[in-house]
Structure 1
Amino acid sequence: MQTLEPLIVILGTGGTIAGTARSSCDGVGYTAAQLRVDDLLAAVPALAGRRLEAHQVAQLDSKDMDIATWQRLAIAVDEQLARPEVAGVVVTHGTDTLEETAYFLHRVLAPNKPVVLTAAMRPATALVPDGPQNLFDAVQVAAKPGAAGVVVAFAGRVHDATQVRKAHSYRVDAFESADGALVARVEEGAVRLLGRWPAGEALGLARIAAPAGSWPRVDIVMNHAGADGRIVRALLAAGVDGIVAAGTGNGTLGVDLEHALREAESRGVRIVRSTRCDAGPVMDLPGLLPSAGVLSPVKTRIELILALLAR
């Protein structure tokens, strides 16, 4: 009896990988989210013989990613993973907020099957688009026996959702792992495992069931030379529920900014310190505002939103 190869489901959300420009020489003046996920698959002949399904969940530039789309995507991923015949899910996405979506899915679902996000830095119409190779690699990762958790496959490297960060505005290898620990590499279609597949405790879809408009508001404030408390007080007036302070160095904050944040904390606003540095932890020390640990400011924001949703 012939055994069917693993079924991989591709969920499209738009992004540069689905973008087009008027000229093949234009790598920046394009419009994102123009092609459907079926079009992306058609551009990868090497996937023609694979057992795949494609569904369009959203069609947007990822700089415009929003809570309602996150909700739809999490539900769609969960539904596909629940199908016994599905070995893994690939999500095509824009690069701008890819690290946020990856971390959101990791915290909400923590799947025991692979969920692989991929993207592109060049539009599909570029002279040498990077999307087809990234999509091909993502499918290989999703079909890898034993793979699990939410990862990002990009430029031949596989990153853990908790570590991945967009580190460059233009290069085709724009993503890095914060502490340099890659999960795997994809080499000529072969996935070479370097570390462990990410694991975590799933918060579950019930945590994110509230209408998007009712979610707590959490904003990010950066420490810098001359930073004061005016932005914090403006956020207080706007009804903010939580603030992530992207501090300098080890989460350090200027005197005026810290005073304003403590004032906000005394009024019931949740405050968490992260760092504007590209990598490294923020130490949780006595007498200081709560630490985000190793999470970047944008991932700390997601963590705080999910915590506030549990109230």
Structure 2
Amino acid sequence: MAVSHVVLLGTGGTIAGQAGRADDNVGYTAGQIGVAQLPAAVPALSRFSLQAEQLVQLDSKDMTHAVWQQLALAVERHLARPDVAGIVITHGTDTLEETAWFLQRTLAPSKPVVLTAAMRPATALLADGPQNLLDAVTVAARPGVSGVLAVLAGRVHGALDVRKWHGYRVDAFSSGDAGPLALIEEGVLKPLRPWPTDEALPARWQAPVAEWPRVEILASHAGSDGTLVEALLGLGCRGLVVQGTGNGTVHQSLELALCKAVAQGVAVLRASRCLGGGVVGAPADALPSAAELTPAKARVELLLRLLVGEGAGA
């Protein structure tokens, strides 16, 4: 059977949002337009064979583990079809990087799984969603592309590096120092770096979400102490990500509490609150590093490692 279809999986977000006025780019309601209706705003999509499936309609700030699991199962099901070239997921921007990393680590797909989104609602005077959707479908239909990707504002980002760095601008996403994997200009895909080729973690993410370990993020800042660590352990947390200052540095009082937690069997990862870069190197006695992962993605990573029994690692 010839590979011909691109599957659109809808989860809501600003790309499917509506506002009461065309000049209102912030006072909108996300997830109002069905994914099957979105291609109507993009006549050029008529040259592709599209199949749409609405999974949920939500603002991605309200993303849940249950939706992640539902999404991963749907992606896995469609990727197994020989007639599917790739998948496009319409998503909100707020947690897109987390969903991307979750899908990359759980599925590591050999076909393209492309997340796309918008910073302006579909009703805006200059909506960015239609172009992003066209670009995303173009990438998903391209033979030889693999991995979980994010396509926004003419750039193709990998799940490992993509991060939302701005809260309002149309070009709100970056791959930091690594740079995008590719550019897409007037429908032409221009690769810059190799596509992701990771191996997927064991499929323990398919366990009921009620059984997933609790992993939380806490921040190091002036005046930090260990009070929140003790409180979170009391709530049953099995993993903690500390959003460190600078190159992942942690206030000495908070670090002491985290080291005690590690001694009790709690997994800890140390990330950086800086918008660019990650954690580079470490003293011999430092808490385990999240390396280039943002704090939000480090939480996803730690959760998945705990599910497969790996812990924080080194």
The TM tier, using the shorter chain, reads: over 0.9
The aligned runs of 1:1-311 (5 Å cut-off) are 6-204=4-202, 206-282=203-279, 283-311=281-309
TM-score by length of 1: 0.96
Q: Which residue of the partner structure matches residue 312 of structure 2?
A: none
Q: How far did 1:251 drift?
A: 1.1
Q: Distance in 2 between matches of 1:273 and 1:10?
A: 36
Cα offset, 1:226, TM superposition: 1.3
The answer to whether the Cα contact below 8 Å between 1:284 and 1:293 also exists between their aligned partners in 2 is no
Shift of 1:5: 7.0
Residues in 1 aligned to 2:168 and 2:213: alpha-carbon distance in whole angstroms = 33
Deviations 1:40-60 (A, max 9, x none): 111111112311111111111
Q: Which moved more, 1:44-53 or 1:276-285?
A: 276-285
TM-score, length-scaled by structure 2? 0.95
What is the CA–CA distance in structure 2 between the aligned matches of 1:255 and 1:4, rounded to whole Å? 60
Which letter does structure 2 place at the counterpart of 1:176? S
Is the CA contact 1:88–1:142 (under 8 Å) kept in the aligned structure 2? Answer: yes
SS in 1 for 2:37: helix
Give deviations 1:5-35, integer Å, cap 9, x for gaps. 7311110000000010111111100000111
Question: Any gaps of 5 or more consecutive residues in structure 2?
Answer: 310-314
Helix, strand or coil at the partner of 1:48: helix
SS of the residue 2:18 aligns to: coil
| CA RMSD between the two structures | 1.3
List alignment gaps of at least 5 residues for structure 1.
Answer: none
**Residue pair 1:5, 1:51 contacting (<8 A) in 2 also:** no
User: Match for 1:146: what amino acid?
Assistant: G
* Aligned-pair identity (%): 58
Write the distance in 1 (CA, Å) between the matches of 2:154 and 2:3: 23
- CA distance in structure 1 between the partners assigned to 2:39 and 2:131 by the alignment: 11
Task: Please tell me the residue identity of whatever aligns with 2:123.
Answer: T
